[in-house]
Structure 1
């Protein structure tokens, strides 16, 4: 029983560390309790996509700032 509890706690902590909101975390933990762990995969893949989209958006913003900084320095 301890091993199952440790696995449950580990999955929960991993979801939190991955930035999953309360809704996603609750859905996933319910699936864990129901021993339907593989049904979490589409939920996790969707969350991963959203995280990657935000990384790409941030990278575009950084690129714009870098270009602006470059342009301003070039005008000196």
Structure 2
């Protein structure tokens, strides 16, 4: 079993959340400065970027679903 220090756990959590090395480093620098407000802003920005990607992929899925619907509808009419 791996036991993480608090900083190691934070780094791993940031990596798991898709943060790149530069963002992890910036987050740690802000932590060393005791700047919680800026750390929260940094996390919020990353969260919004992730949500934007999710929404884009959701839109693509909706387009595929619509195409499937149209094909199935056409298939049932042709039968």
Normalized against structure 2, the TM-score is what? 0.81
Q: Tell me the C-alpha RMSD between the 2 structures.
A: 1.5
The unaligned stretches of length 5 or more in structure 2 are: none
The unaligned stretches of length 5 or more in structure 1 are: none
Q: Spell out structure 1 runs of 4+ moving beyond 2 A.
A: 32-39
In structure 1, the partner of 2:15 is 16
Count of aligned residue pairs for this structure pair: 72
User: Could you tell me whether the CA contact under 8 Å between 1:8 and 1:32 is conserved in 2?
Assistant: no
In structure 1, the partner of 2:50 is 51
Q: Distance in 2 between matches of 1:14 and 1:32?
A: 15
Structure number with bigger Rg = 2
Structure with more relative contact order (C-alpha pairs < 8 Å, separation 6 or more): 1
Normalized against structure 1, the TM-score is what? 0.84
